Amino acid sequence: MARAVSTRRKIGFTIAAWAVGLAIFFPILWTILTSFKTEAEAISSPPSFLFFDWTLENYTTVQERSNYFRHFWNSVVISLGSTVLGLIIAIPAAWSMAFVPGKRTKDVLMWMLSTKMLPPVGVLIPIYLIFRDVGLLDTKTGLVIVLTLINLPIIVWMLYTYFKEIPGEILEAARMDGATLRDEIIHVLTPMAVPGIASTLLLNVILAWNEAFWTLNLTAAKAAPLTAFIASYSSPEGLFYAKLSAASTMAIAPILILGWFSQKQLVRGLTFGAVK
Amino acid sequence: MATQHSRSAARIMISPAVVLLLAWMIVPLVLTVYFSLLRYNLLMPGTERFVGFLNYKLFYQNPAFWTAMLNTLLLVGGVLIITVVGGILLAILLDQPIWGQGIVRILVIAPFFVMPTVSALVWKNMFMNPVSGLFAEFSKAVGLAPFDFLSQAPLASIIGIVSWQWLPFATLILLTAIQSLDSEQMEAAEMDGASALSRFWYITLPHLSRAITVVILIQTIFLLSVFAEILVTTNGGPGNASTNLTYLVYARSLLNFDVGGGSAGGVVAIILANIVAIFLMRMIGKNLDA
């Protein structure tokens, strides 16, 4: 027996852990529940937890009144667009740093990371003015460009740490067998690199979806993704709890589901390999 | 051995990323520093002129700047204390043998995936609202007067909201680190009669020190830039009570159109972030050698 655990101890820890877990999750659960209430029930006192007339009217109202799906679509385009563009730029860079490291590879990596440390507010004004002058304010293109650039260091780093784990001997063996660089990339590296690329894609879609500094400052009505659209509920509109909840639930549900699949990658991606 | 050929190919493959990041970093940075030395107001186009360090001096003399600096420190410090202490306790709890560990873990990390504007508005309206929020309901139920969180204690309320968002991050990283702890060492200590507290103090905590440092540094970088949560809850108010440096720069430049003054604030923010970044980069750099 490695470690005998008394059942009583396990019960105690289980209750404590579930209590804490549910408490932390409660605001999300409450939002989801409220989204199915009528506005009157949403502010009823005392609040009803489960026993209310479940309704979907908030979801339809939110869509009708504010064209919700346009903002949802903006979020999809911006987060996927910036991630894919980022991958296209980052894959060759990470590949060459992992497999053909030079003397300055480490410096380049560290320098890329340092660009991520630049506080957005330090460059907000020039970017805003440049975007205004070239007509990129409140466009999806503009946001894709900015989000690609702010997440590029994370994408390069994540890919680098994954590529680093692909053993170099395999490449050498392939070369011995007369594989060209093209064969090497298509038949040897790609299959081994796909899981790492997929994880990177996942984490970056999450980060881009939730990004709320640039999206708030560079968009107005037209290109606003969900982060900026939901912010419009900070007006008295937000007091319609059921509608706020419906809009919020739809905004967080896709990412909540994706996020649960990416727990491991999250640690790796956000600590730049410092904790594994 | 890499050949000359593959080396030049490597250089070509890496250059797009380097050039883009270089442009992204240098151009706005130079412009921000340049703007900070100008009198430049968007409402008065054509009146820009060089004023040296006047904007910095005005910032320095403006009490709002010092309030914002203090608020920034309180916000970062408060959230760090709550999330690191809470994260350690939670990580230890989740590391115990429990039923449904996977599900509890999912519940705990969920807030991290909620976009900042949603979490801030849900807390503001459905929990902290003094008339119909859940906290007000709770106060009424136990016979207390409802507390108006966001006007009575705006900064503390925002610290609470931001902590809720970042606690999962700290927990997840610390849990990953705890799980790499050698269980034999723990068992040996347990057999030698070490109490739970001294096992925590002499084994777990030292083992976690590196992960704790990483959590502190990374969170600090992000927390210095908290913006959306303030924008949708208090707009930095009442007065300047919940204005941090990021929000102050935003208000200066995009609400008051004072590009020069805002840029000076931006430069201060860059310097602050860099102080933290130097330490973080060292830690990550060390890891890269290994």
- For position A92, which CATH number holds? 1.10.3720.10
CA distance A94 to A162: 9
Q: Which of B126, B169, B270, B278 is most worth mutating to test chain A (most A CB atoms within 10 A of its CB)?
A: B126
Tally of domains in chain A: 2
Give ipTM to 2 decimals. Answer: 0.87
Say whether both A108 and A245 belong to one domain.
Answer: yes
Say whether both A40 and A153 belong to one domain.
Answer: no
CB interface of B with A, residues 217-236, below 8 Å: 218, 221, 224-225, 227-228, 231-233
pLDDT tens digits along B141-196: 888 888 888 888 999 999 999 999 999 999 999 998 888 887 788 888 888 888 88
Contact B75, B153 (CB under 8 A): no
Say whether both A27 and A133 belong to one domain.
Answer: no
Give domain status of residue A21, yes or no: yes
Domain that holds residue A25: 7-57
Say whether both A43 and A91 belong to one domain.
Answer: no
Per-residue pLDDT of chain A (276 residues; tens, 9 = 90+): 445 568 888 899 999 999 999 999 999 999 999 999 888 888 777 777 777 788 888 898 888 888 888 999 999 999 999 999 999 999 989 988 888 888 888 888 888 888 888 888 888 889 999 999 999 999 999 999 999 999 999 899 888 888 888 887 777 787 788 778 778 777 877 788 888 888 889 888 988 999 999 999 998 888 889 999 988 887 776 678 888 999 999 999 999 888 887 777 777 777 776 676
Give domain status of residue A28, yes or no: yes
User: Three-state DSSP class for B167?
Assistant: helix
How many other C-beta atoms lie within 10 A of the C-beta of residue B259?
A: 27
Say whether both A146 and A106 belong to one domain.
Answer: yes
Sign of CA dihedral A144, A146, A150, A156: positive
In terms of C-beta density within 10 A (0-12 exposed, 13-18 middle, 19 or more buried), how is residue A101 classed?
Answer: middle
Give domain status of residue A1, yes or no: no
Q: What is the pLDDT of residue B1?
A: 46
Say whether both A126 and A203 belong to one domain.
Answer: yes
Say whether both A247 and A167 belong to one domain.
Answer: yes
pLDDT tens digits along B104-146: 998 999 999 999 999 999 999 888 988 888 898 888 888 888 8
Give domain status of residue A195, yes or no: yes
pLDDT tens digits along A181-213: 778 777 877 788 888 888 889 888 988 999 999
> What is the residue extent of each domain of chain B?
54-289
Say whether both A121 and A40 belong to one domain.
Answer: no
Q: Which of A122, A258, A263 is opposite residue B267, by nearest beta carbon?
A: A122
- Nearest CA-CA distance, residue A176 and chain B, Å: 13
Say whether both A236 and A106 belong to one domain.
Answer: yes
- Asked if B263 is an interface residue toward chain A (Cβ–Cβ < 8 A), one would say yes
Q: Which of A5, A126, A251 is opposite residue B28, by nearest beta carbon?
A: A126
Say whether both A53 and A76 belong to one domain.
Answer: no
- Spell out which residues of chain A touch residue B231, defining contact as CB-CB under 8 Å: 216, 231, 234
CA distance B126 to A231: 15
Say whether both A113 and A235 belong to one domain.
Answer: yes
- Nearest CA-CA distance, residue B258 and chain A, Å: 10
CATH number of the B54-289 domain: 1.10.3720.10
Contact A267, A50 (CB under 8 A): no
Contact B260, A154 (CB under 8 A): no
CA distance A114 to A103: 19
Q: Which of B35, B65, B93, B107 is most worth mutating to test chain A (most A CB atoms within 10 A of its CB)?
A: B107
CA distance A146 to A130: 12
Say whether both A198 and A84 belong to one domain.
Answer: yes
Give domain status of residue A53, yes or no: yes
* End position of a domain, from candidates A32, A57, A82: A57
